[in-house]
Amino acid sequence: MQRLGAVAGDARAQPGAVRAILSRFSVARAEANIGKPYALFAQNCEHFASFAFTGKAESTTVATLGWMVAGALAVAALTAD
């Protein structure tokens, strides 16, 4: 897969060309993840979509859940006798 900067220079004069290039990158990233095992906290559908569109596999839902669990544990630790 080529780097975006390498091909975007040729596409700047054409309307919609950059969007088409970004679409190809998204499809290529999505195809690269097909067949990977599903993991609720490490590789779920939100990770898959995020990686396809941004190149960074992340899940705000999993991150929020992690902070909630950490907060609950901190409160439990502070209120324990």
- In tens, the pLDDT along 12-57 reads 556 677 778 778 888 999 898 888 899 999 899 999 999 998 989 9
CB 66 within 8 A of CB 39: no
Answer left, alpha or beta for residue 35, where phi above 0 means left and psi between -120 and 50 means alpha. left
User: Does 54 lie in the same domain as 69?
Assistant: yes
Whether residues 81 and 42 share a domain: the answer is yes
The 10 Å Cβ neighbour count of residue 8 is 14
Res 7 pLDDT > 80: no
Q: Give me the pLDDT at residue 77, please.
A: 95
Domain of 78 in residue numbering reads as 37-81
Most distant pair of Cα atoms in the chain: their distance = 68
**What tokens appear for 33 in the block?**
């993840």
Q: How confident is the model at residue 10 (pLDDT cuts 50, 70, 90)?
A: low
Same domain, 26 and 42: no
41/77 same-domain check: yes
Does 20 lie in the same domain as 2? yes
